[in-house]
Amino acid sequence: MPVEVVTGNHAAGYALSVAGEANRTARGAACGIYPITPQTEIVERIAAFPFTKGRVVAVESEHSAMGVSMGASLAGARAFTASSSNGLAYMVENIMTAGFYRLPIVMVAVNRTLGPPWNIWADQSDTLMLRDFPWIQLYCSDNQEVTDTTLLAFRLAEDHRVLLPVLVCMDAFIVSHTQGETDLPEQADVDRYLPDLDLPHRLTHDDPRTLGGLIWPDVTTSLRLETHEAMGRVPAVFEECRSAFQDVFGRDPGGMMDTLEVEDAEEILIASATVATTAAEVVKRARAEGRKVGLVKMRMFRPFPEEALRRACASARRVGVLDRDYAAGLGGVWWQDVRAAFQGHRDDVVIQDYLVGIGGGDVTPGLIEDVLEDLRGRERAGPPVWTGIATEKEVMV
Amino acid sequence: MSTPTRIRSGAMAFSEVPVIPCNDECLLRAGNTNCGGCGMSIGLTMLGRALAEAEDTCTLAIPACCGAVTAGAFPTTSYGVPTVCTTFAASPAVASGLAAIRDINGESGQVICWAGDGGTYDIGLATLSAAAERNENLIYICYDNEIYGNTGGQRSSATPHGARTTTTPGGKEERKKDILAIMAAHGIPYAATLSIAHPEDFRRKLLTAFGMSGMRFLLIHSPCPTGWKSEPADSVALVRMAVASGLFPLVEIFDGERYRVNVEPDFTDPAEYFARQRRFHDDEVDLEATRRTCRARHERLRFLAESFPA
Ligand SMILES: Cc1ncc(C[n+]2csc(CCOP(=O)(O)OP(=O)(O)O)c2C)c(N)n1
Ligand code: SF4
Ligand SMILES: [Mg+2]
Query: Do A238 and A95 share a domain, yes or no?
Result: yes
Domain membership of residue B98 as a residue range: 34-307
> Would an 8 Å CB–CB cutoff place A346 in contact with chain B?
no
Instruction: Please give the C-alpha separations between residue A130 and each of B117, B221, B267, in angstroms, as whole numbers.
Output: 30, 40, 56
Could you give the 3-state DSSP secondary structure of residue B48? helix
**Which of A74, A76, A215 is nearest residue B73 as measured by Cβ atoms?**
A215
- In the structure, what pLDDT confidence band is assigned to residue B26 with cuts at 50, 70 and 90? confident
* Tens digits of residue pLDDT in B124-158: 999 999 999 999 999 999 999 999 999 999 999 99
How far A220 CA lies from chain B's nearest CA (Å)? 10
Q: Is the pLDDT of residue B24 over 90?
A: no
Say yes or no for a CB contact (<8 Å) between A71 and B93. Answer: yes
- In our burial notation (b when 16+ CB lie closer than 10 A, e otherwise), range A250-273 reads eeebbbbbbbbbbeebebbbbbbb
Whether B59 is covered by a domain: the verdict is yes
Domain CATH number, residue A143: 3.40.50.970
Q: What residue's CA is closest to ligand 2, atom 8?
A: B38
Nearest CA to ligand 1 atom 9: B65
Interface check B1 vs A, CB under 8 A: no
Say which residues have a Cβ less than 8 Å from residue A85's Cβ, sequence separation at least 6. A36, A110, A111, A112, A113, A114, A115, A120, A126
Q: Three-state secondary structure along A266-335?
A: CEEEEEEHHHHHHHHHHHHHHHHCCCCEEEEEECEEECCCHHHHHHHCCCCCEEEEEECCCECCCECHHH
CB-based contact, B305 to chain A, within 8 Å: no
Task: Name the burial class of residue A215, with classes exposed (0-12), middle (13-18) and buried (19+) by CB atoms within 10 angstroms of its CB.
Answer: middle
Residue B21 domain flag: no
- On the CB side of A44, CA atoms within 13 Å amount to 9
The separation between CA A41 and the C-alpha centre of its own chain, rounded to angstroms, equals: 18
Q: Are residues A218 and A342 in the same domain?
A: no
Q: Over the stretch A287-301, which tens digit does the pLDDT of each residue have?
A: 999 999 999 999 999
Taking a C-beta distance cutoff of 8 angstroms, is the pair A137, A130 a contact? Answer: yes
Q: Do A94 and B73 touch (CB under 8 A)?
A: no
Judge contact between A201 and B12, C-beta under 8 A: yes
Distance from residue B69's CA to the centre of ligand 2 (Å)? 10
Pairing of strands A166-171, A385-386: unpaired
pLDDT beyond 60 at B17: no
B208–chain A Cβ distance below 8 A for any pair: no
The C-alpha of B227 sits at a distance from chain A's nearest C-alpha, in angstroms, of: 22
Which runs of consecutive H residues, i.e. helices, occur in chain B? 39-53, 66-70, 91-104, 117, 125-133, 179-184, 199-210, 225-228, 235-245, 271-275, 287-307
pLDDT of residue A100: 97
**Residue A1: what pLDDT?**
60
Q: How many domains does chain B have?
A: 1
Q: Does B56 touch chain A (CB under 8 A)?
A: no
Q: Identify whether residues A146 and A63 lie together within a single domain.
A: yes
pTM of the entire predicted model: 0.95
A115 Cα to the center of ligand 3, angstroms = 34
- Residue B20 confidence (pLDDT): 47
Whether A276 and A156 map to the same domain: the answer is: no
Chain A residues inside the 8 Å CB shell of B57: 205
Q: What is the pLDDT of residues B87-125, one digit of tens each?
A: 999 999 999 999 999 999 999 999 999 999 999 999 999
Residue B11 lies in a domain: no
**Band of pLDDT at residue B25, cut at 50, 70 and 90:** low
Q: Mind giving me the DSSP string for B150-171?
A: TTTSB--TTSPTT--BTTBTT-
Of residues B73, B80, B95, nearest to A71 (C-beta): B95
Q: What domain range includes position A286?
A: 257-396
What is the reported pLDDT for B30? 86
The arithmetic mean of pLDDT across residues B268-272, rounded, is: 96
CA–CA distance, B104 with A75 (Å, rounded to integer): 11
Q: Show residues of chain A in contact with B9, CB under 8 Å.
A: 209-211, 213, 215
Tell which residue, B22, B99, B32, B37, has the closest CA to residue B67: B32
Shared domain check, A119 and A183: yes
The rounded Å distance from CA B160 to ligand 3 centre is 12
Q: How many domains does chain A fold into?
A: 2
The answer to whether residues A99 and A126 belong to one domain is: yes
Residue ranges, chain A, pLDDT below 70: 1, 392-397
Q: How confident is the model over B249-255, as a mean pLDDT?
A: 98
How many interchain CB pairs under 8 A, A with B? Answer: 188
Find the A49 Cα to ligand 1 centroid distance in Å: 38
In a domain, B138, yes or no: yes
Distance CA B206, CA B218 (A): 8
DSSP B148: B
Per CB-CB distance under 8 Å, the chain A contacts of B25 are none
Same domain for A245 and A300, yes or no, is no
Q: Is there a single domain that holds both residue A123 and residue A265? A: no
Cβ atoms within 10 Å of B181's Cβ, excluding its own: 11
B127 at A interface, C-beta within 8 A: yes
Please, are residues A46 and A79 in contact by the beta-carbon 8 Å criterion?
no
pLDDT at residue B12 is higher than 70: no
CB count within 10 Å of CB B158 equals 24
CA distance B209 to A300: 49
A219 with A334, same domain: the answer is no
Q: CATH number, domain at B216?
A: 3.40.50.970
* Amino acid letter, A16: L
pLDDT given for residue B7 in this prediction: 40
Residues of B with CB below 8 A from A70's CB?
86, 90, 93-94, 97
ipTM of the complex: 0.96
